[in-house]
Amino acid sequence: MALIYNYSHLLYLINFMKVFIQNILYTLLVVIIGVLVILFFSFLTKEYSLRNMSDLSGFLSRLIGLLTVIIIAKSFNLFNSFFSEKLKSKHIFWVVSLSLIYIFISNIIPFLIFGDFFRGDNELSFLNYFDYFLITPFLEELFFRGVIQKKFNKHFNWYIAIILTSLLFPLIHSNFDQYFFYFLFSIFSGYLFYKFNSLKASFLFHAFSNILASIIYHFF
């Protein structure tokens, strides 16, 4: 009996490592391609630099969008469900509440402790705002919640799927010194996706959190 128990746990561990490594490689592929393209443009135009990591982050979000579209083409129901989902008042309540909690933890507390450490200095154009508030949240939620987290959910408990997805989420962002905040952000977003089975809920959380963060960065 003990042998069967240990064998089943060994199979679970092997499957765990297999799925996790697959998703790590898939996410790292996005990062590697992004770095290579940035280097390519740097060589051609001399206008891009790895020192300007915001360029890399912006490009990676669009690259993830391209890969997501390819993936979504194979599972059209996921893409279609995003536009057919109906939000209820409880969805909005949870989205707003978690956004406020996240902003307080990731922005207000660090601001009170470090002063202007997390204040933004750059003015964003209209296109930057459009990207920051709509395009990036939509693409990243499709990729990490609609694809990665769903894939983990097929093999593991919902909370393990959220944690594993959140470990990968910061890898496509350039500010690795803020890894914990990206991880926490993904935990909240992943929980909303699990609780309501709704990409629209996680998207709204992502977009609303970005809006609140931008207000704090530029007006306080």
Q: What is the pLDDT of residues 129-177, one digit of tens each?
A: 777 788 888 888 888 898 889 889 988 899 999 999 999 998 887 677 8
> What are the residue ranges of helices labelled H in 46-157?
53-74, 76-84, 89-103, 109-114, 126-130, 136-141, 150-153
pLDDT at 214: 83
- What are the tens digits of pLDDT across the range 26-55? 677 766 766 666 666 556 555 544 445 555
pTM (2 decimals)? Answer: 0.76
Instruction: From 177, 191, 183, select the one nearest 145 (Cα to Cα).
Output: 191
Which range among 64-68, 79-83, 123-127, 203-207 has the greatest average pLDDT? 203-207
Instruction: From 112, 111, 136, 140, select the one nearest 124 (Cα to Cα).
Output: 136
Confidence class of residue 192 from pLDDT cuts 50, 70 and 90? Answer: very high
Centroid of chain to Cα 203: 10
Confidence class of residue 101 from pLDDT cuts 50, 70 and 90? Answer: very high
pLDDT at 151: 86
Instruction: From 71, 61, 31, select the one nearest 206 (Cα to Cα).
Output: 61
